[in-house]
Amino acid sequence: MPAFPTSTTVLDSVLFRDAFGTSEMREVFSDLRLISRYAEVEVALAKAEARCGVIPAEAAVEIAARTDVAALDFDLLREETDIVGYPIMPLVHQMAKQCGEAGRYVHWGATTQDIMDTAVVLQIRDGLNIIADDIAALRGILAGLSKRYRDTPMAGRTHLQQALPVTFGYKTAIWLAAFDRHAERLAELKPRVLVGQFAGAAGTLASLGDKGFEVQQALCEELGLGIPVSTWHVARDGLAEAVNFLALVTGSLGKIALDIMIMASTEFAEVYEPFVKGRGASSTMPQKRNPISSELMLAAAKAVRQHAGLMLDAMVQDFERATGPWHAEWMAIPESFVLTAGALHQAKFALGGLVVDEKRMSDNLDISRGLIVAEAVMMGLAPQIGRQEAHDVVYDSCRVASDKGLALADALAADPRVADRIDRSTLDHLTAPKNYLGLAPDMVDRVLTSVRR
């Protein structure tokens, strides 16, 4: 009889896992990879201690050669972890057995949290490399959209109301600039976050005597990690920064998703996610084309935000070793990385094939019959009659245009306070939305040239 799926979360669900994550990121944070990282740190520790003369060199060679993660009894590891509360002692038991006489030197002078923290940092390093590649790809997509639609006019909206004309390239350039900053943040946080942990039971390296700092440095060098200036058993700002960075990334994706979803609504109809037969279909309404990728991006933003808060809460730890907040990180870190990778994957799909209806954007821009550029007329009148009076005159004409269904140019032409000062051709020019884009196209250029692409 075939086994039935038993996953209980969307991250591992056979139905949802590729909607909310990616196989590449799931692999980084899989049980097997995590246990392999634990073993890798233990082996690196033995090599470091041999380099420093703390354990025999031949013992380190044996530990490296005979440690075999694939040969571990994972059922026993699970059972003992459930009893102990942590997986390192059960792992060390099995590694020591694999390594024979050299096994007595496995985990020499270390504490459980040293191994677990350092292994998680190795996972985070792999995860951040994936995130960096995804951000780079997304920046390329957004740069392409910004360049292509630099001069494509559309209605800019504030408080969900038409405000002033912008261009679609201006909108995507704002998105792009945010991800330029995320790339900068990622480069800056790595030296703070990718730091090894090796300090012993209370963080003082007491068990290694005067060799403590030497072993600590050698271990970090073996793993390619930064050397800590102090023990960070209960100073969790680095890990919290990593997850809060992911919250910033998904927050930006959530903003993009919300814009796309609203712009894809029937009444706007300005952009659509790429067409894939059946994607976004309704079980009862054949006409539907739901923005599925954007919905998933928005959901991920909300979930990672929760984990970012959890990581901040987990920073509040007691004395030299905490009594529980550490465990919250075991939930927050893997899930945040998987959700962020999933959201970036959805963004690359949605934006990489985004369907942009320039005609509909133009039609929507004209829907107010010129009211969207009332500011242009006000500024055109202001030099002659003063800004405040110009505001009042144009305000009155806007009310007339709205009440009578007139074009703003017609309402203005009917007001002698305007007609006596501005001719009709000038009014027509001032009330044409495409003539009032401000520096929106130039801002696109500034974003595109602000960093090397």
Catalytic residues: 159, 282
* Partner residues linked to 155 by β-bridges: 165
Q: Alpha-carbon torsion 251, 253, 254, 256, what sign?
A: positive
DSSP 8-class letter at 273: P
Q: Catalogue the E-assigned strands of 48-167.
A: 153-158, 161-167
Entry field: residues in the chain: 453
Backbone angles phi, psi at 87, to 5 degrees: -90, -10
DSSP 8-class letter at 12: T
User: CA-CA distance, 51 to 270, in Å (whole number)?
Assistant: 64
Q: Taking Cα atoms as reference points, which of 117, 155, 382 lies closest to residue 263?
A: 155
User: CA-CA distance, 390 to 177, in Å (whole number)?
Assistant: 36
Tell me which residue has tokens 């060799």.
211
Rg (CA), the chain: 30
Phi-psi region of 438 (alpha: psi -120 to 50; beta: other; left: phi over 0): left
Q: Catalogue the E-assigned strands of 16-171.
A: 153-158, 161-167
> Which residues are CB-contacts of 435 (< 8 A; sequence separation ≥ 6)?
373, 376, 429
Within 10 A of 3 (CB to CB), how many other CB atoms are there?
Answer: 5
Q: Taking Cα atoms as reference points, which of 331, 248, 340 lies closest to residue 9?
A: 331
User: CA-CA distance, 415 to 396, in Å (whole number)?
Assistant: 9
> Which residues are CB-contacts of 57 (< 8 A; sequence separation ≥ 6)?
50
DSSP 194-249: SB-----TTSS-GGGGGGHHHHHHHHHHHHT-BPPSS--SS--HHHHHHHHHHHHH
